[in-house]
Structures are given as structure tokens and as C-alpha cells.
Amino acid sequence: MTTLPPTDRPADRAATLSPLTCADPSSSTTTVEPALPALPSAGRQSQLSDRDVAVLRSLGLLRLLTAGQVQRLHVADGSPRTQARRTRSLLERLAKLRLVVRFNRQVGGVRAGSSGFVYGLSARGQAVVGIGGVHGGRRRRVWDTKLGFQNHVLAVAELYVTLIEAERHGQTEVLEFQAEPGCWRRTSGSGGEPVILKPDAYLRLGVGEEERSAFVEVDLATESGPTVARKCQAYVAYWRSGAEQAQRDVFPAVVWLTTTEQRAARIADAIQRLPIEARALFQIALLAQGVNVLSGANGGTA
């Protein structure tokens, strides 16, 4: 299968596609989607613009986006009304081609209008951007669309969107962004058993002459204190393994982005229980401060 090339748009350039399954808009549980015949390569390229492909690639990277996020990433030219109209047309065209699916929910309630609808890649959309192998006569799993899952995925997507917007304003340069599962790290435990560290995102930013890298944990206050503590301990174990340093010469900062000052204090308490030499690995900030903290405009707490 021929994979369509990336465009020169910042949002597309920074994306690193990860394997995933696709979403069923009519279900809140795991189900299956009937296999579709593959579009011929020539047909794909004749029907899709560079912007169409860029949107599909962003969905491949982030798994879910609201229409408003698609607009901010890929339809940033023109008046707000023009942007909204072009975004609706773009997503309607991709839906008609059965490349994306729309979920039966809105973010932000009724007032959000069509900009609040949530979109994901269909099985055919995955095939077009080269995710999941050749799309033939088999049935493909689609992923759970429960509300908590969607909220978390969209929060990670929002971080990416705000980073791209910061790049446009010259605040930073997005060199690399990996969402789950592409950002996961596989290593061995103390007994040689396989261990998978599961950050919510990994990124590299260029800030002036510096390069900053980070593992990001987007915390929506849904995990228990012991779960947060175990995640911090997993990062410390991975740091001590030296695997990341051997591959990239540096261990990224571990940045927790959360919802409230009270929640940040609870995460800080878990970090303070770690060995002294490991505490410097971590930073904590509110989600609204994420871009500034990651780009070094202001520091978080640890």
C-alpha cells in the first residue's frame, strides 16, 4: 500500500504516526467495523488534498480531535466564520469518503455547535495514512469510546494543538511529538521481565539554541494516589536503567500537567516520597501552563 507523503504544515510535520484502532461513533463499547475495499492509490491521491491528508495524519497521531481542534490545526487562515465553514466542509467530505467517523457527543455542550463534535479515523482512514497494514478482507477492531477515555485523549490532543499554535507565534519549535502508544518505552525489570512505561506523550521542542525533551503525564484527577505514586516509581526505575540515555543521550523531564492546585499538591506529595536524587526528574504544572512550562518560559513545581 502506498502511504501518502506529509505536507509542509507544522501540525503535520511534527506528527509521528502510531498504530491504533479506529472508532465507532454509535457505540460506547468495543465493537468491530466491517472491512471496506481499499481505495486505489491513484484514486486516493486524486480525491484528497494536502489538507485532507494532514487532517488524517493528525487523527492518526492523536486518535481523536474535536472539529474545533481540527480547525485550529489545519484551517487557521481567513476569518473565524470562514475557518468554521471550511472545517465543516472538510470534515463532511472526509466523512462522505468514509475516512473519518463522528462520535455522538459534543465537547462543551450545545453551545459548542459543530466545532465541539469529536472525530476519529475509520478503518479506511487508517489504511490511507498507512496505519495497521494492508486493508483487505478482514474485520478490524475499533476502540472503546467511553467518556473518560475520550476526555483524556482530547486533553493530550489539546496540548499538541496549543504547542503548534505556540510554534506559529515563534514561542517554540515542535521537533517531535509522539502520543500513545508510540511514546511508550519497553525495557526490562530488575528480574529481566519485560516492562512497558506508558507516558501520555513524548515531545522534543526547540527553544532558541536549546532543545528540550519531556515525557508528559496529563492528569485529569481520575487516578488514585497510589496509582500516581507507582507511575512516578516506574519513571525512576526507567531512569536508573539507562536505556533512554543510551538511545538519546539524555533523560527527558517528566512533566505532570494537572487540573487544580490541590491535585498538583497531591502529585507533589508522591514525588517527595521518592529518593532525593530522583525528585529532580519531575515537574508539575497546571494544564493551562503546559506550553510555557514545556518551553521553559516558566518552571513548574516539583
Answer yes or no: are the C-beta atoms of 92 and 104 closer than 8 Å.
no
Mean pLDDT over the full length of the chain: 82
Q: How far apart are CA 2 and CA 134, in angstroms?
A: 9
Domains of the chain as residue ranges with CATH = 10-145 (1.10.10), 170-295 (3.40.1350)
Place of cell 507533589: 268
Position with higher pLDDT, 130 vs 286? 286
Q: What is the crossing angle of helices 50-62 and 80-96, to 10°?
A: 80
Burial of 293 (0-12, 13-18, 19+ CB in 10 A): buried
Q: Which of 2-6, 215-219, 243-247, 283-287 shows the lowest mean pLDDT across its residues?
A: 2-6
Count of other CB atoms within 10 angstroms of residue 116? 16
Q: What is the pLDDT of residue 152?
A: 95
Q: Which of 29-38, 129-138, 213-222, 224-233 shows the lowest mean pLDDT across its residues?
A: 29-38
Answer yes or no: are the C-beta atoms of 140 and 32 closer than 8 Å.
yes
Helix residue ranges, H only, the chain: 10-13, 41-47, 50-62, 67-74, 80-96, 123-128, 147-168, 225-241, 243-248, 261-272, 276-279, 290-295
Tell me the average pLDDT across 183-198. Answer: 88
Answer yes or no: are the C-beta atoms of 103 and 117 closer than 8 Å.
yes
Is the pLDDT score of 79 beyond 60?
Answer: yes
Q: What single DSSP character describes residue 143? A: E
Tell me the average pLDDT across 201-227. Answer: 96
What is the per-residue DSSP string for 81-109?
HHHHHHHHHHHHHHHHTTSEEEEEEETT-
Q: What is the pLDDT of residue 300?
A: 59
Q: What is the pLDDT of residue 114?
A: 63
- Residue 186's DSSP bridge partners are 196
Q: What is the pLDDT of residue 302?
A: 54
193: cell is: 521481565
Going by pLDDT thresholds of 50, 70 and 90, the confidence category of residue 107 is low
pTM for the predicted model, two decimal places: 0.81
Place of cell 492518526: 60
Which amino acid belongs to residue 75? V
